[in-house]
Amino acid sequence: MSGKTVEDALSELQRKYSRYKLIERDLQEQRIRYSTKLPDVQRSLEAVEMLCEKRDGENAAEETLVKYQLTEATFADASVTSPESVYLWLGANVMLEYPLDEAKELLETNVHACESGLEANARDLAVLKDNMTIVEVNMSRIYNYDVRKRRNAENQAAVNAK
């Protein structure tokens, strides 16, 4: 507080608090993206693992019925006999064909990235919330300091007036 007015100190803390709120919103949006992406990637990984088991199993030549998702609400059936590759959506309307082993490795990497991203996001949100609490406490301390200072000045003025 040395060299600052109460209004300056409060406005500086309010700006900092506003920045923290923006960062919090961005982190929450990022958490939502990770949370929606992770189940999709896990389902894809499970499907690729099932195809790998089918390929490596004793009955590899038998036909298997597979349900797959075309769009968010549209599913289709396919008959698969000896699976060797899969097509994966990469985003931005891009789909690539991968051999099963490479697809499994890619999806495992993506699952790990999503899980570690969620963990890092939770840590970042916890640190941010701690910082926001500190700023809120400091704002209330400065406000209370100003209230006490004004009351003391009023009391002193009343004593001097008598």
Q: Which domain holds residue 11?
A: 6-152
Residue 81 or 151, more confident: 151
CATH number at residue 78: 1.10.287.370
| pLDDT tens per residue, range 98-138 | 999 999 999 999 999 999 999 999 999 999 999 999 999 99
- Can you give the pTM of this predicted structure? 0.77
Q: Is residue 1 part of a domain?
A: no
- Number of domains observed in the structure of the chain: 1
**pLDDT (0 to 100) of residue 91:** 80
Q: Is 157 contained in some domain?
A: no
Integer-rounded Cα Rg, in Å, for the chain is: 29
| Over residues 8-13, mean pLDDT | 94
Q: Is residue 93 part of a domain?
A: yes
Question: pLDDT value at position 60?
Answer: 65
Burial 29-58 (b: 16+ CB within 10 A, else e): ebbeebeebbeebeebbebbeebbebeeee
Residues in the chain: 162
Query: Is 159 within a domain?
Result: no
Q: What is the pLDDT of residues 15-67, one digit of tens each?
A: 999 999 999 999 999 999 999 999 999 999 999 998 888 888 777 678 888 88
